[in-house]
Amino acid sequence: MKKLVKGNEAVVIGALVAGCDAYYGYPITPASEIAQTASEHFLPLGKVFVQAECEVGAINMVFGASSSGMRVMTASSGPGISLKMEGISYLAGAQLPCVIVDVQRVGPGLGNIGPEQSDYFQVVKGGGHGDYRNIVLAPSSVEETYRMTIEAFDLADKWRTPVFILTDATLGQMMEPIDVCEEPINRSDKPWALNAKSESNDNLVTSIYLDFDDMEVHINGLHEKYRQITETEARAEVYGAEDPAIVLTGYGIIGRMLRSVVDSLNERGIAAALIRPQTLWPFPSKIYQQTVKSGVPVLSVELSRGQFIEDVRLALPQHKVKWYGRVGGNLPELGELVSQAEKCLKEASNG
């Protein structure tokens, strides 16, 4: 069944298809339609919807619901995600699965409600205290937002970890058709959960280990899990020429725009390709290394002042990676990006 929806609404539809049991959140522009849509659909279906008193309350409700074995989610934008970070660290430390959506807006501070990608460090590198990671998915369309939301719940349960969906004000507010189908709900057993069954009475869900050696074992166990996630879950879309003279890269709405840039360059006789990460953590470094040949210039584009590019450079230590970005809520235009790609190629050819 085709439905014309906003990206924010697609999140909720995907969550319902995935069997999400509960939503806890607090509204913030440009993510407010997620809470609004959840409020309209969760309660009539016998699911839990709570508009918490604040973002801190919401993330702690997520902790409680997840510890009981429920499939649970929350959503916010930059300032709200900042407030949730302590709770997200607790969720990661207690190995509790959940889905968190960040519809990025301009910062720092209050900024404005335009699109930006400046939450990259906060979400991809951790953000909260301690030595942990979150899986981070980066859609580039409303349909992919819907599909990735379904997948996020499965990944969260599979790895017992928080999973982020990182979108932005453009993706959240734009309308596109999605193909809504009944999907099999892949619920996994959660023998570790605390629930009304007597066999769960001895279960302990915690992130505190007072013995130093026990804490070290716990942290090392988390990072063995992160190693396995890195080996199995990293992915990216590769689009364009098979033997490119230039490689463009960006995620989310920018990755989508760069497809048109690649098409335009190829029409001009310039062999170009795009690498669009679909997972920001784990970062698809191997795909970059397999795609970018020696001596090929790389143009990394983002809606921030150089956050995403750090991981691109780590993935390609032997290459010169050029940065281009817009901030403040501004999106680049096609001609602007084509010119930047041609400039990057010219500079590379001049040595």
Any idea what DSSP says for residue 106?
A: B
pLDDT at 350: 81
How many residues does the structure list for the chain?
A: 351
User: How many Å apart are CA 255 and CA 257, to the nearest integer?
Assistant: 5
Give the per-residue pLDDT at 315: 98
Residue 314 to residue 19: CA distance in whole angstroms: 37
Whether residue 165 contacts residue 148, with contact meaning beta carbons closer than 8 Å, is answered with: yes
Residues in contact with 350: Cβ distance below 8 Å, sequence separation at least 6, in sequence order: none
What pLDDT shows up at residue 351? 67
Spatial CA neighbour of 161 closest among 233, 210, 209: 233
The residue written with tokens 């029409």 in the block is 267
Which pLDDT tens digit goes with each residue over 110-160?
A: 999 999 999 999 999 988 999 999 999 999 999 999 999 999 999 999 999
Ordered domains of the chain (ranges, CATH): 2-233 (3.40.50.970), 237-349 (3.40.50.920)
Question: Which pLDDT score, from 0 to 100, does residue 183 have?
Answer: 72
Strands across the sheet with 321-325, in order? 236-240, 272-277, 246-249, 298-302, 321-325
Would you say 150 and 183 are in contact if contact means Cβ atoms under 8 Å apart? yes
Which stretches of the chain drop beneath a pLDDT of 50?
none
Q: What integer pLDDT is reported at residue 197 of this predicted model? A: 77
Question: Per the structure block, which two tokens stand in for 79?
Answer: 């300032």
pLDDT on residue 203: 87
Are the C-beta atoms of 175 and 4 separated by less than 8 Å?
A: yes
Tell me the pTM: 0.97
